[in-house]
Structure 1
């Protein structure tokens, strides 16, 4: 790949970063860890429960900051429970020695966001969460705060993902219109492009009485993040059915799984990201886990357009969502090179062709 090609780095470039020492780990990558346009990050051996979330500020390193903020250490080697309402800092197995022209951003994995586990990546000398500046050389840390369900994690668990980019990769609305005409980026709703592809909420379902979402239950059981299909969904979730008007009142600080009206398509030469919060559309946050890999909803990868599952949390006041209301934006970036493997091509992609769907940890709803 030419050194001056801008864009999001694909799977083959991430593999090369392990080979050339830009990504450093004592353990080789495991199957499925490198995605078409991102890398899953693995938890290390120790978690530190801390008094509060933080950025390093004037302190030189995260470990230096931990000296004053940590409450106790948690050994993750045999598995440990991270409790709701607590904040943990975990050194990650991967560290970085980035070239001067490569930067990175991080996000929770889709399955992490659908469990309402608030997860961010921090760095030494960090001034922003989930942001790694070009040329950064140092360790990575995950800040983890389960908000609804206690979770069981262990060394090697993967809650966060990181995406690498060279130069400017975001494409303009004018160019996005051209891509939409050629590849049909969204279907099934009122397609609108402005500041990215705008997405709206589906609260109609298939008519009155149909399932339109889930609300998380409080005081439920423990979720093992490394065991897909191990949990009964109704032990953790209350189904939401359309009873009358296609609308839903979001209760403050409740967590919901909803779905977009539009089916989303990410062509092979592009990657996308959901804007996690937009104050212009209401006092709520949509979609903690924002990365959409190349091939999401793509026909050659087994997709026919896939709905965007929305992790929604209202803030401060009750808020009414109505069917078709704009709830977020999907911004697209160009790839520096087409990925050798697309989302859904036999790499353990759990959400290709999805509609309304809980995380991979739950069995199918009866």
Structure 2
């Protein structure tokens, strides 16, 4: 794509070329120079700094305090990450990031785990000074960023420079109404099936698999080896996952506090003019959580970017009680947001994206 694009709107998510401009203008700062691989079509990968704090509890600083104040209260010990360190399951860590912000007054930010982070059940959230919520950075924020990291299932090896989370930047207020979403679907066809639009685009789970005995998901094993967060195709699937096969009845009982990888029935399309995000599931229709890593970049599932047939991989965990999940059950909704410009690069093979044209797929760490 060309380096210059016509504006789509004055308000919207910022594409890669506008993120480049924020960096050049000093609105995104970093201890080490930001590299090209960090800048995705509509987000910026965030890098871990030189050390991590093991803390006794998750916390938010609130209006009166900084994250450093919280670390002085809740920190147990500091861990050097320069040569790598293992983060254990069930423990909470806070890591200063290499990136900091000095945002303009009209630009806010939001963060989410990267897809590969969510697929290995590493719960990751971003904290800012004086923040009252995780992952949400107010317009005009000036200050450092921190990652809260809690591996839920697998211990992970991380190091300075590891990228577990990503950040989007937003200018103004974006129309995410169902009316706008329906109009976009009419123009671009966002799902391969009939669209169910109600506070977002409904996504359902595939437990049929297309043929008897097909693999329809994976259940994580307990007490496994370490996963190196930065190394692809290094882990044997059978050492970490139990495959789940389609049975006579297309259903699955979710065991409490077990972690599952499943896939959507729908093939999803994110056109170059938009990005999408999976929003938290309504707890009134089931006590389970789907999809920790909720960002879909412009070009995901886009035919011209090699994405025809891209399914959404679902990271699923049941809470407290067993839950019967049935084939075709709605498990989440996607919200689409317009960009201010079409990105100069799209999600896909041209930029080394791991999950274009995916169906049921584990994280990049597994061969």
The TM tier, using the shorter chain, reads over 0.9
Residue in 2 that maps onto 1:318: 322
Of the three residues 145, 149, 156, the one matched with 1:151 is 156
> Is the counterpart of residue 262 in structure 1 residue 271 in structure 2?
no
Residue in 1 that maps onto 2:123: 118
RMSD: 1.3
Residue in 1 that maps onto 2:247: 243
Of the three residues 82, 105, 109, the one matched with 1:104 is 109
Of the three residues 194, 198, 202, the one matched with 1:198 is 202
Residue in 2 that maps onto 1:73: 78
Residue in 2 that maps onto 1:210: 214
> Is the counterpart of residue 6 in structure 1 residue 11 in structure 2?
yes
Q: Within 5 Å, which residues of 2 pair with 1:1-366? A: 5-57=10-62, 59-187=64-192, 189-363=193-367
Q: SS of the residue aligned with 1:15?
A: helix
User: How big is each residue's C-alpha offset from its partner over 1:106-141, in whole Å with a ceiling of 9 and x where there is no partner?
Assistant: 000000000000000000000000000000000000
C-alpha distance in 2 between matches for 1:360 and 1:169: 33
User: How big is each residue's C-alpha offset from its partner over 1:157-183, in whole Å with a ceiling of 9 and x where there is no partner?
Assistant: 000000000011242211211111111
Q: SS of the residue aligned with 1:126?
A: coil
Q: 1:90 to 1:192 in 2, by over 3 A?
A: same
C-alpha distance in 2 between matches for 1:91 and 1:139: 8
Query: Gaps spanning 5+ residues in structure 2: where?
Result: 1-5
Whether contact under 8 Å (1:42, 1:155) holds in the other structure is yes
Q: SS of the residue aligned with 1:122?
A: strand
Whether contact under 8 Å (1:32, 1:348) holds in the other structure is no
C-alpha distance in 1 between matches for 2:344 and 2:34: 17
CA positional deviation for 1:305: 3.2
Please, which moves more after superposition, 341-350 or 252-261? 341-350
Q: SS of the residue aligned with 1:186?
A: coil
C-alpha distance in 1 between matches for 2:224 and 2:209: 27
Which aligned runs of 4 or more in structure 1 are off by greater than 3 angstroms?
1-4
Query: Gaps spanning 5+ residues in structure 1: where?
Result: none
Whether contact under 8 Å (1:283, 1:314) holds in the other structure is yes
Whether contact under 8 Å (2:271, 2:298) holds in the other structure is yes
Q: TM-score, normalised by structure 2?
A: 0.96
Q: SS of the residue aligned with 2:186?
A: helix
Q: 1:292 to 1:2 in 2, by over 3 A?
A: closer
C-alpha distance in 2 between matches for 1:113 and 1:3: 31
Q: TM-score, normalised by structure 1?
A: 0.97
C-alpha distance in 1 between matches for 2:252 and 2:61: 40
Q: SS of the residue aligned with 1:47?
A: strand
Q: SS of the residue aligned with 2:238?
A: helix
C-alpha distance in 1 between matches for 2:344 and 2:188: 19
Whether contact under 8 Å (2:8, 2:339) holds in the other structure is no
Please, which moves more after superposition, 54-63 or 80-89? 54-63
Q: 1:355 to 1:3 in 2, by over 3 A?
A: closer
Q: SS of the residue aligned with 1:174?
A: helix
CA positional deviation for 1:341: 0.4
Whether contact under 8 Å (1:201, 1:326) holds in the other structure is yes
Whether contact under 8 Å (1:10, 1:336) holds in the other structure is yes
CA positional deviation for 1:59: 4.3
C-alpha distance in 1 between matches for 2:68 and 2:182: 46
Whether contact under 8 Å (2:256, 2:318) holds in the other structure is yes
* Residues paired across the two proteins, number: 362
